[in-house]
């Protein structure tokens, strides 16, 4: 992901030997000593809204953003602008603490509150126990920085799902932590890694990204008491992607996001062969399944967003594999819809027509990519 193209989301998978600092060792000791009895903390998040959330009391008398009532726990850390490119050993940082049950870091409050809500969404909606469905600990990291994208640590406009020393982390630059759909997006990358494990390049990577946008939208609806929209990241102050109208947002100057398969491009290998760029094609399919509409002369009768969310979720958990392409995603969604609603159902028809409208057929051979779009200058 290049910051200049306006797409702030990426999925990083990094394996390393983690060498913790002395400060981290003490933090980890206190974490282990934390009281697992449920306590309630409060604090204003990055939107200025007072939130309540689960916390723990440490043996040193401080309170930590550590909620052990959900799975193996939800913990939030402050990495204090350490550079993930060169200082990975410092990640996840120091457990965020306070001398009282009130927390004053709005970035940490946002990350912690949203992590609990995303966990609750998957538990309530799909009976899923954390991202791996085995209760694995959810670790959020705030005040992160990647010098490869900006020289100013406080201006790193990105977020990612990363694996460091077998610790899955949701890592946030300062500007990224407030958006509900982005928190859901990043958590869903970890769900995908535990399920279909879609490779993060080309068509499989674009599906990976689209699944995160789709479920991020579902999570926005859940957190926001039923209110949501079809844009990604609008709580940041600008829209990163638009599922209803992908081409209304530019991926980079003069090049809009594509809305059908004829506009697919591997970007000359950039963006891991266009994983973010081409995800908008699947986003358009998802929107059409939910809301309906006419696209490329094909009219789709929508079936509602909740059924659409379910179809893509179960395609991820039950049908897709690490190398699945767009055609295989179509077949996976059709299989889920058929199993849930019947072969002649309106749901199956909606899936068929939505993929047709985006020019995604049932086999790779049938799909059409416009030649001039394969290399964008």
Q: Which of 22, 324, 19, 374 is nearest to 164 (CA)?
A: 19
CA 82 to chain centre: 22
- Catalytic pick among 30, 75, 149, 186: 186
Give residue 33's region: left, alpha or beta (phi > 0; psi -120 to 50). Answer: alpha
CA distance 322 to 36: 37
Alpha helices by DSSP H, the chain: 22-33, 106-126, 180-194, 202-223, 270-291, 305-314, 326-341, 346-357
Alpha-carbon distance of 328 to 259, in angstroms, equals 18
Name the strand (E) or helix (H) holding 50.
Answer: strand 50-57
- Helix (H) / strand (E) containing 48: none
Token pair 């009976």 in the structure block, residue: 127
Q: Cα(365)–Cα(377) distance, rounded to whole angstroms?
A: 26
CA distance 264 to 364: 13
Start-to-end Cα distance in the chain = 17
Q: Which of 185, 189, 276, 295 is catalytic?
A: 276
Query: Would you tell me how many other CB atoms lie within 10 Å of the CB of residue 356?
Result: 19
Active site residue 276: yes
Clarify whether 143 is annotated catalytic.
no
Q: What is the DSSP letter of 298?
A: E
Residues annotated as catalytic (active site), given as ranges: 186, 276
């Amino acid at each position: 992901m290049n910051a200049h193209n306006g797409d702030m989301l990426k999925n990083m998978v990094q394996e390393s030997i983690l060498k913790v600092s002395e400060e981290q060792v003490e933090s980890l000791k206190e974490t282990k000593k934390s009281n697992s009895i449920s306590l309630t903390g409060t604090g204003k998040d990055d939107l200025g809204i007072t939130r309540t959330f689960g916390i723990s009391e440490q043996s040193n008398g401080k309170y930590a953003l550590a909620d052990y009532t959900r799975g193996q726990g939800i913990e939030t850390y402050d990495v204090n602008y350490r550079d993930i490119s060169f200082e990975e050993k410092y990640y996840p940082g120091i457990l965020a603490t306070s001398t009282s049950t009130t927390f004053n870091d709005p970035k940490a409050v946002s990350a912690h509150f949203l992590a609990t809500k995303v966990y609750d969404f998957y538990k309530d909606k799909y009976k899923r126990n954390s991202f791996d469905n085995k209760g694995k600990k959810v670790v959020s990291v705030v005040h992160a920085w990647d010098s490869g994208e900006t020289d100013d640590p406080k201006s790193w406009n990105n977020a990612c799902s990363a694996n460091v020393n077998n610790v899955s982390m949701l890592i946030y630059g300062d500007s990224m932590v407030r958006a509900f759909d982005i928190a859901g997006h990043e958590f869903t990358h970890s769900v995908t890694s535990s399920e279909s494990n879609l490779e993060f390049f080309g068509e499989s990577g674009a599906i990976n990204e689209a699944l995160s946008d789709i479920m991020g939208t579902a999570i926005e609806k859940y957190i926001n008491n039923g209110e949501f929209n079809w844009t990604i990241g609008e709580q940041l102050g600008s829209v990163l992607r638009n599922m209803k109208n992908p081409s209304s947002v530019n991926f980079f100057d003069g090049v809009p996001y594509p809305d059908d398969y004829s506009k697919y491009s591997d970007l000359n290998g950039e963006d891991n062969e266009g994983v973010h760029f081409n995800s908008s094609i699947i986003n358009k399919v998802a929107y059409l399944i939910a809301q309906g509409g006419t696209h490329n002369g094909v009219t789709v009768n929508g079936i509602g967003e909740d059924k659409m969310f379910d179809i893509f979720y179960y395609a991820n958990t039950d049908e897709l594999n690490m190398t699945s392409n767009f055609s295989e995603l179509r077949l996976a969604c059709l299989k889920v819809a058929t199993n849930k609603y019947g072969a002649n159902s309106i749901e199956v028809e909606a899936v068929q027509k939505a993929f047709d409208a985006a020019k995604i057929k049932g086999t790779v051979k049938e799909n059409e990519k416009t030649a001039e779009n394969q290399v964008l200058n």
